């Protein structure tokens, strides 16, 4: 299975944020989408998730010869600012989410099982989401895609809000899950990308550019990436 971005364009107010993004992502890999602040990482994710309309271009998902347009339900999207209905408790939200996705979920797992997968404390489950910390909200959002297992998972700067212990847990979780999914992970933190991701894609000046795998291991990795990111700024 693969996700194909086909010449996606998006501009705001005459400013081209995404120009001709053209790329193929494959299942079983964690992609790091690296870009500077304001490079358009979130815009690209929002275009894919249907949150905003792309100006032109399209995204397809499926096997090479039987790809179809990407749909809302193919995507699990973890926002950098977690957005959850605050009048519910974490437990209620997850139960509601499981209810409406009943046909997509593993019947052998209970709501408690799911909470223990993300190591969510028992006593926190029945508190209003309103009082949750940033990291807890993010965990709940991650749980959504663990439950429904959509083929494409978009994570917008997720690990930045976790403490080291939780970040490690989540990293392990993502590695375990990657066989069945295409995981794209946006970040501006280079070490995080290098550490977790199998492939690195740079979003610079609205275009996507793959970093060769060898570069990831090379000692000059950092300098090379920085050079790439700065490159476009002088023109």
Contact set with other proteins (CB under 8 A): 12-15, 49-51, 71-73, 75, 77, 79, 83-89, 91-92, 95-96, 99-101, 126-128, 130-131, 144
Q: Which residue, 153 or 197, has its beta carbon nearer to other proteins?
A: 153
User: What letter does residue 139 receive in the DSSP assignment?
Assistant: H
Kind plus residue range of the DSSP H or E element containing 223: helix 221-231
Q: How far is the CB of 180 from other proteins (least distance, A)?
A: 19
Q: Which residue, 25 or 77, has its beta carbon nearer to other proteins?
A: 77
Q: Which residue, 86 or 106, has its beta carbon nearer to other proteins?
A: 86
Q: How far is the CB of 197 from other proteins (least distance, A)?
A: 25
DSSP, residue by residue, 145-208:
HHHH--SEEEEES-GGGS-HHHHHHHHHHHHHHGGG-EEEEEES-HHHHHHH-SEEEEEETTEE
Instruction: Give the residue from 152, 145, 195 showing the smallest Cα distance to 27.
Output: 152
Q: What CA–CA distance (Å, rounded) separates 167 from 199?
A: 19
Q: Which residue, 88 or 228, has its beta carbon nearer to other proteins?
A: 88
Q: Which residue, 8 or 78, has its beta carbon nearer to other proteins?
A: 78
Burial pattern 21-31, b for ≥16 Cβ within 10 A else e, equals: bebebebeebb
Q: Are 26 and 182 in contact (CB under 8 A)?
A: yes
Q: How far is the CB of 21 from other proteins (least distance, A)?
A: 20
The angle formed by the CA atoms of residues 209, 77 and 57, to the nearest 5 degrees, is 50
Q: What CA–CA distance (Å, rounded) separates 141 from 76?
A: 9
Q: How far is the CB of 128 from other proteins (least distance, A)?
A: 5
End-to-end, the C-alpha distance of the chain in Å comes to 37
Q: Which residue, 88 or 177, has its beta carbon nearer to other proteins?
A: 88
Chain position carrying tokens 């005459």: 14
């Amino acid at each position: 299975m693969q996700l194909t971005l086909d010449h996606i364009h998006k501009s705001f107010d005459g400013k081209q944020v995404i120009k001709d993004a053209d790329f193929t992502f494959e299942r079983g890999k964690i992609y790091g989408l690296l870009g500077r602040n304001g490079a358009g990482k979130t815009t690209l994710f929002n275009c894919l998730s249907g949150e905003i309309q792309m100006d032109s271009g399209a995204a397809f998902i499926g096997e090479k010869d039987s790809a179809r347009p990407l749909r809302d339900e193919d995507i699990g999207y973890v926002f950098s600012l977690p957005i959850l209905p605050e009048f519910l408790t974490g437990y209620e939200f997850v139960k509601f989410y499981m209810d409406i996705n009943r046909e997509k979920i593993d019947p052998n797992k209970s709501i408690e099982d799911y909470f223990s997968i993300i190591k969510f404390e028992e006593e926190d489950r029945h508190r209003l989401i309103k009082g949750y910390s940033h990291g807890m909200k993010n965990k709940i959002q991650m749980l959504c895609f663990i439950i429904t297992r959509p083929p494409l998972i978009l994570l917008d700067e997720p690990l930045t809000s976790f403490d080291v212990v939780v970040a490690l847990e989540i990293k392990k979780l993502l590695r375990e899950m990657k066989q069945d999914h295409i995981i794209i992970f946006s970040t501006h933190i280079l070490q995080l990308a290098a550490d977790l991701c199998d492939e690195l894609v740079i979003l610079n000046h609205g275009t996507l550019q793959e970093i060769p795998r060898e570069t990831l291991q090379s000692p000059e990795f950092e300098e090379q990436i920085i050079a790439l990111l700065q490159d476009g700024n002088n023109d």
